[in-house]
Structure 1
Amino acid sequence: MSDILVVGGGIIGLLTARELARVGAAVTLIEMGETGRESSWAGSGVLAPLYPWRVPEAVDALARLSHALYPDLVAELVATTGIDPEYTVSGMLILDPEDLDRALDWGQRRAQRMEVLDAAQTAALEPELGVYPERALHLPEVAQIRPPALTKAIRRAIERKIAIREREEICELLIAGDRVCGVRTPRAQIVAEQVIICAGAWTVKLLEQLGTVPEIRPVRGQMLLFHAKPNQIQRIALDQRRYVIPRRDGRVLVGSTLEHAGFDQQTTAEAKESLYQDAVQLFPVLRRAPIEDHWSGLRPGSPNGIPYIVAYPEISGLYFNAGHFRNGLTLGPASAQLMADLVLGRAPILDPRPYALDALRA
């Protein structure tokens, strides 16, 4: 018997399982595919909301706490697994800060380093840019990470401490009276005292049998990967909600679309062309770089991007940690700690009320 069952093996599920295993809980993690292969694998790896002053306070609070937790998390993963998630403080250059006064006010209140640049200063930071606006905003403390390496490292770190069941889909939550007692899959009934749903865009499907469900819907995002040369582009660049992210090895990620296409994960020629044109307009040097890959992922969209980190109100022992929209990697460490606090009855690291099922998300 497992004390705690975590459903979903993306970044949220992996980090939640890790938090619980750290205190000695008997944890089983179940994933319908392979761990870390859905939206976590497809994500950008930017460890900050793209326009951080525009997100709700509930998202900002998780982002700031996760920002503080990431360096130690990555150092521990590298030391224990030998896998380097490539945590890099590359900074982020925002080329369309339309609400600049609001951004600067946010930065001052959060003690966030921000630099307003003119066209010449922007050109000095990124000589390969194709456009130099009159005003740009530089956030030098923004970090990034390689999502596939991160999820691989977390799995390696916990795989001897928990039971992992992959390629096993949940058919039904097992409920006895007003209490959860496990799940049923095509292979077995898995008994657990507590069940935590961390299934991203698929969370609602798992909870439909209960009637009351969180407002989470899949939002498809398509991305391109260029095989460029190292150091041609120095930092994350953001313009009109399109981002360009240089990796250490020279690869450059460009994203992303926001598409309401249900659970359809197909890529499209139209999105590929749109991403390509936006990329080469921002950085003409990418015209000389071959496209290495084009993929999509399903983000767990929620109202205003505020995740649900909460006990299910009508079923004892049932929890869910989902709905992070495009910020699962950004908010993951803090979300996992808050979820573990609620499950274990510890004092929560953050006020959990903004993440409740009935919290206002307008």
Structure 2
Amino acid sequence: MSVIIVGAGVIGLLSALNLSRYMDEVVLIERDETGREASWAGGGIVSPLYPWRYTAEVTALAHWSQDFYPAFGKTLLELTGLDPQVHTTGLYWLDLEDEAQALEWAKAAERPLFSVPIDHVYRSVPPLGPGFERALYMEDVANVRNPRLVKALRAALQTKSNVRIVERCAIKEVLCKQGCIQGVKTEQETFYSGQVVITAGAWSGELLETLGLKLPVEPVKGQMILYKCNEDFLPSIVMAKGRYAIPRKDGHILVGSTLEHAGFDKTPTAEALKSLKASAIELLPALANAEVVKHWAGLRPGSPKGVPFIGPVPGFKGLWLNCGHYRNGLVLAPASCQLLTDLMTGQRPIIDPAPYLPETRL
């Protein structure tokens, strides 16, 4: 049995890794380089930015994945020698307007989020800017070094003799005959299989259009900037007014991000750079004297309420989706890919698949 997976971000890479245990052949096809789109561009926080603002469907996937990541990072390091750097720092939310709602959610969901005195925050996060009055804290929030995560996933796939990775190969159409999937036609060659999984992020909708399907997944541009500081400069993730600062183990600080509906344009803009710098300095004034190491943009796969599409497509035997994760692709990836694997292999699903199935949402 074989499967073709279209799109090699974290969702495609991890789907391929999971399915390689059950398939005779897995072909992973990427239009550019593996892991170089949204998976590379994101911040890598292993939590939705504001988990209480999402639906129960997103929360269910996030909880499963958050518990999975620490051991998974160690497994990838042992297998490949590449460390995804799952870095547990905790996260402070500052001056939230919906603080009461957040605390109610935490109590109902049994998650370790609680109110902390602001003087405690200033002692714990010395570089934090002045003027903040209230804070919530979740101590078990981690961030993953997402560029290293996708490199480790690719290296893990390269240890599998039944996995083929095809890069710089754009799909022209998904082949279907009398309602049955036949494979995909690319600019270079045609690949044949009775099972095709679409994990193409913001480009998933375009691919399904070749079959006459309308998938409500669209690109949402996000811009970020990167600073380099001392390794102990920022001990925790901090968020305020919709912007965040994320510490990496080596002292790099990511600040993001914008939300822009600009089609497939990934060009960084001077306006966004100015706005992100202002947010960075408000959160961490010492960054006013730090150099911006890098400024970039990526395209998130926006979807209704941020709920991904996971499962078979009705009317097209052998066509599967695992896409539309919006801002939460990294945090939702382990659960999403395990759920897809369960559905494709007939195992008991890790969670109820009904809310994610395309048959009820297309």
Equivalent residue number for residue 235 of structure 1:
236
Contact 2:6 2:30 in 1 (8 A): yes
Give, as a single letter, the amino acid of the residue that structure 1 aligns with 2:16: A
Equivalent residue number for residue 3 of structure 1:
2
Matches within 5 A, 1:29-48: 29-48=28-47
Normalising by structure 2, we get a TM-score of 0.97
Give, as a single letter, the amino acid of the residue that structure 1 aligns with 2:313: Y
Equivalent residue number for residue 114 of structure 1:
113
Cα distance in structure 1, aligned partners of 2:29 and 2:361:
31
Contact 1:96 1:238 in 2 (8 A): no
Equivalent residue number for residue 307 of structure 2:
306
Q: Tell me by how many angstroms 1:50 deviates.
A: 0.6
Query: RMSD of the TM alignment (CA)?
Result: 1.3
Equivalent residue number for residue 159 of structure 1:
158
SS in 2 for 1:86: coil
Equivalent residue number for residue 190 of structure 1:
191
Matches within 5 A, 1:279-358: 279-357=280-358
Q: Tell me by how many angstroms 1:102 deviates.
A: 1.6
Give, as a single letter, the amino acid of the residue that structure 1 aligns with 2:189: A
Give, as a single letter, the amino acid of the residue that structure 2 aligns with 1:39: A
Equivalent residue number for residue 83 of structure 1:
82
Equivalent residue number for residue 17 of structure 1:
16
Equivalent residue number for residue 274 of structure 1:
275
Q: Tell me by how many angstroms 1:293 deviates.
A: 0.2
1:252-291 per-residue CA deviation (whole Å, 9 max, x = no partner) reads 0000000000000101000000000110111001112111
SS in 1 for 2:76: helix
Contact 1:312 1:320 in 2 (8 A): yes
Q: Tell me by how many angstroms 1:359 deviates.
A: 4.1
Normalising by structure 1, we get a TM-score of 0.97
Cα distance in structure 2, aligned partners of 1:314 and 1:24:
23
Q: Tell me by how many angstroms 1:132 deviates.
A: 4.4
Cα distance in structure 2, aligned partners of 1:328 and 1:132:
33
Give, as a single letter, the amino acid of the residue that structure 1 aligns with 2:202: A
Q: Tell me by how many angstroms 1:211 deviates.
A: 2.2
Contact 1:228 1:290 in 2 (8 A): no
Give, as a single letter, the amino acid of the residue that structure 2 aligns with 1:238: M
Q: Tell me by how many angstroms 1:213 deviates.
A: 2.3
Give, as a single letter, the amino acid of the residue that structure 1 aligns with 2:307: I
- Which deviates the most, 32-41 or 155-164? 155-164
Give, as a single letter, the amino acid of the residue that structure 2 aligns with 1:170: I
Contact 2:2 2:23 in 1 (8 A): no
Q: Tell me by how many angstroms 1:210 deviates.
A: 2.0
1:230-253 per-residue CA deviation (whole Å, 9 max, x = no partner) reads 111111111111010011111100
Q: Tell me by how many angstroms 1:22 deviates.
A: 2.5
Contact 2:3 2:23 in 1 (8 A): no
1:121-141 per-residue CA deviation (whole Å, 9 max, x = no partner) reads 111111111134222001111
- Which deviates the most, 129-138 or 275-284? 129-138
Give, as a single letter, the amino acid of the residue that structure 1 aligns with 2:324: G
Cα distance in structure 2, aligned partners of 1:16 and 1:32:
17
1:130-178 per-residue CA deviation (whole Å, 9 max, x = no partner) reads 1342220011111100000000001101123110000001011111111
In structure 1, stretches of 5+ residues that fail to align are none
Q: Tell me by how many angstroms 1:101 deviates.
A: 1.9
Contact 1:10 1:40 in 2 (8 A): yes
- Which deviates the most, 309-318 or 207-216? 207-216
Contact 2:94 2:133 in 1 (8 A): no
In structure 2, stretches of 5+ residues that fail to align are none
Matches within 5 A, 1:138-157: 138-157=137-156
1:101-130 per-residue CA deviation (whole Å, 9 max, x = no partner) reads 221121122221123122211111111111
Equivalent residue number for residue 100 of structure 1:
99
| Count of paired positions | 360
Cα distance in structure 1, aligned partners of 2:265 and 2:180:
34
